[in-house]
Amino acid sequence: MYCPVCGKEVTEDAVFCPYCSASLREAKNFSRSRDEGPKSTAVAMILSIIFPGTGAFYIKNDVRGILVFVVCLVSALVGMLMFVVLPVLAVSLLIQAVLWVYGLMLTSKAIDDYRKEYPI
């Protein structure tokens, strides 16, 4: 890493810069939070709009997001395969609509939690 004060290269475990003796602890914390970094909450929302629930998984590794996505996918497939049976198609669309909304709620909750961890 590099000293934020004088810009010279210093070892990763250094607490003080050997050149200008600036404290490097804050620089280290800064680079760490940047590494684990803010994921894009916009990407999470877009993901969740296109693939219900996946945004929650993207931002918080929330497994419920994947479940929502899988159930939604299965329901869509069943709806497509059995589209001639109108009640099945209707139920399939209803399930997808409900899961889509649920997925968005899950994602916006996950984004809230994420923002508490990594404030902008």
> Which positions lie near Zn ion, rule CB under 5 A?
3, 5-6, 17, 19-20, 22
Q: Quick one: 22 or 93, whose CB is closer to Zn ion?
A: 22
Tell me the closest approach of the beta carbon of residue 37 to Zn ion, in angstroms: 24
Residue 17 CA to residue 117 CA, distance in Å, equals 29
Tell me the closest approach of the beta carbon of residue 36 to Zn ion, in angstroms: 25
Tell me the closest approach of the beta carbon of residue 9 to Zn ion, in angstroms: 10
CA distance to 29, 37, 57, 87, per residue, from 3 (Å): 13, 20, 36, 66
Q: Quick one: 10 or 111, whose CB is closer to Zn ion?
A: 10
Contact indicator for 74, 97 with CB cutoff of 8 Å: no
What are the φ and ψ backbone dihedral angles of 58, each rounded to 5 degrees?
-60, -45
Q: Quick one: 19 or 83, whose CB is closer to Zn ion?
A: 19
Residue 5 CA to residue 27 CA, distance in Å, equals 10
Q: Quick one: 3 or 104, whose CB is closer to Zn ion?
A: 3
Tell me the closest approach of the beta carbon of residue 6 to Zn ion, in angstroms: 3
